[in-house]
Structure 1
Amino acid sequence: MKIKLKKYKEQLQDWPQKGHYIMAQYNDEEIIVYQSYRKDIGEFAVRNQYFGGDFSLERMTWIKPNFLWMMYRNGWGSKEGQECVLAIHLKMEAIKKYLQNAVYSSYNENLGVSEEVWKNQVKESSVRLQWDPDHDPFGNKLERRAIQVGLRNNFIHSYAKDDIILIEDISGFVKEQYQFVLNDNLESLMIPEEKPLIFEDHNLNKKLKLNETSY
């Protein structure tokens, strides 16, 4: 795997406990996001290094940069149809493009527009943005929020092929680490090394509600 790993307990000491943070492994060129699929879809993606075959370009696909939040959603790769866990090395410029074009998936008054305007934005947009409670390795809710991004139409076509640097199957690693969780041995748990992502674009940070202050 071309993912940097670090003990969960060591990272926990440095992570923010609450607020809106994009927790991810990234550098200037790329960011790692996670998805889970049936074995045939995952194997096609790894073999060909793009999404095709039975992967649907007609429905929205959701990407998640936070490893533990993905583990919460797929049950550490144990849920039916989510056994193949993929780490997608995505171009940083691509995630920025998605987020700049994203519309929140649910309405609240803090968005700065009327509900009618928001509904029109949702209809026209091909990118959804959603903040959900983050989770610990056992699946317990945290005060910190985790982001997921939904893509459709031209954005899913771009994502499926042009925006990807590398696709890795990390299913074996996930199963291995899940045993530590099942045995309540978090001292041994290794996960991808993650830190908060803040963009240089202050307006984008503001749109995303990102906490820009130190944590």
Structure 2
Amino acid sequence: MPSQYEIRADYDARTIVVYQAYAPAIADAALRAGRFTAPFSFNRMTWIKPSFLWLMHRSNWARKSGQERILAVRITRDGWEEALANAVLTTGDPAALAGAPVHVQWDPERSARGAALNHYSIQVGVGRHLIRAFAEEWVVGLTDLTPTVRKAADQIQRGGAAKAQRLLPPERVYPLPQDLERRLRP
């Protein structure tokens, strides 16, 4: 896969961290239960993103309505790769996309200040046919990153992007099996 389409993530031998932004009610219920539970919807697609900065761009650093809480969701690499193995690119055949259990799109990665970069970040939409597996089997931990997000956003606003960078999760190239690389290539 060309380097501009590499997946960059925080991962270890068994797990990968993806990020999601939620309304406080959803985040609080999930954190109390240690897993996703109502009012989290099991009937709609949920988008997971291994790029922290892309989610910060999308949620405006947890300032958008309904996206005020940022969760780091640690999932199994087996679950992550199962999702990718079932994925269809959103830029592909519309008929295939309509029936796909997982959607993948590539969007420009973002800097801490929100500028588009010259490489792409993957977004993975887990559909309702796999949402229970995601929530009940793949998720191994939830962490509320909202205080860190607010601190980093304050640093950036005060011109301290370098200081904010030290607060961000580490991300490195995720090693995809070749068959998945081919499947996800735009």
TM-score normalised by the chain length of structure 1:
0.81
1:162 equivalent in alignment to 2:137: yes
Q: Which ranges of 4 or more aligned residues in structure 1 deviate by more than 4 Å?
A: none
2:182 counterpart of 1:206? yes
Equivalences for 1:143-182 in 2 at 5 Å?
143-182=118-157
Q: Which of 49, 53, 65 is residue 80 of structure 1 equivalent to?
A: 65
Deviations along 1:61-86, one digit per CA (max 9) or x if unpaired, are 10000000010000111111111110
Deviations 1:1-36 (A, max 9, x none): xxxxxxxxxxxxxxxxx6112110001100000001
Per the TM alignment, residue 154 of structure 1 is displaced from its structure 2 partner at its CA by: 2.3
Cα distance, 1:124 vs structure 2: 2.0
User: Alignment partner of 2:130: what SS?
Assistant: helix
- Matched with 1:127 is 102
Supply the distance in 2 between the matched residues of 1:49 and 1:106 (Cα, whole angstroms).
35
Q: Check whether the contact 2:113–2:161 (CA below 8 A) recurs between aligned residues.
A: no
CA RMSD across the alignment:
1.3
Is 1:193 aligned to residue 170 of structure 2? Answer: yes
State the secondary structure of the residue aligned to 2:180.
Answer: helix
Q: Is the 8 A contact 2:89 2:184 kept in 1?
A: no
The alpha-carbon deviation at position 123 of structure 1 amounts to 2.4
How far apart are residue 206 of structure 1 and its match?
Answer: 1.9
Q: Distance in 2 between matches of 1:86 and 1:204?
A: 26
Letter in 2 for 1:202: Q
Deviation of 1:56 after TM superposition, in Å, equals 1.0
Deviations 1:45-101 (A, max 9, x none): 111111111111111110000000010000111111111110001100000000011
Give the TM-score of the pair, scaled to structure 2.
0.94
How many aligned residue pairs are there?
Answer: 182
- The 3-state SS of whatever aligns with 1:160 is helix
Contact 1:39–1:83 (CA under 8 A) maintained in structure 2: yes
Q: Which residue of 2 aligns with 1:139?
A: 114
SS of the aligned residue for 1:57 comes to coil
Residue 81 of structure 2: aligned partner: 96
Q: Which is higher, the Rg of structure 1 or of structure 2? A: 1
User: Is the Cα contact below 8 Å between 1:198 and 1:205 reproduced in 2?
Assistant: no
Percentage identity across paired residues of the two chains: 31
Structure 1 unaligned blocks of 5 or more? 1-17, 108-117, 211-215
Q: Return the alpha-carbon distance in structure 1 between the equivalents of residues 84 and 159 of structure 2.
A: 36
Whether 1:23 and 2:8 are equivalent positions in the alignment is yes
Tell me, yes or no, if the aligned pair for 1:134 and 1:142 is still in contact at 8 Å: yes
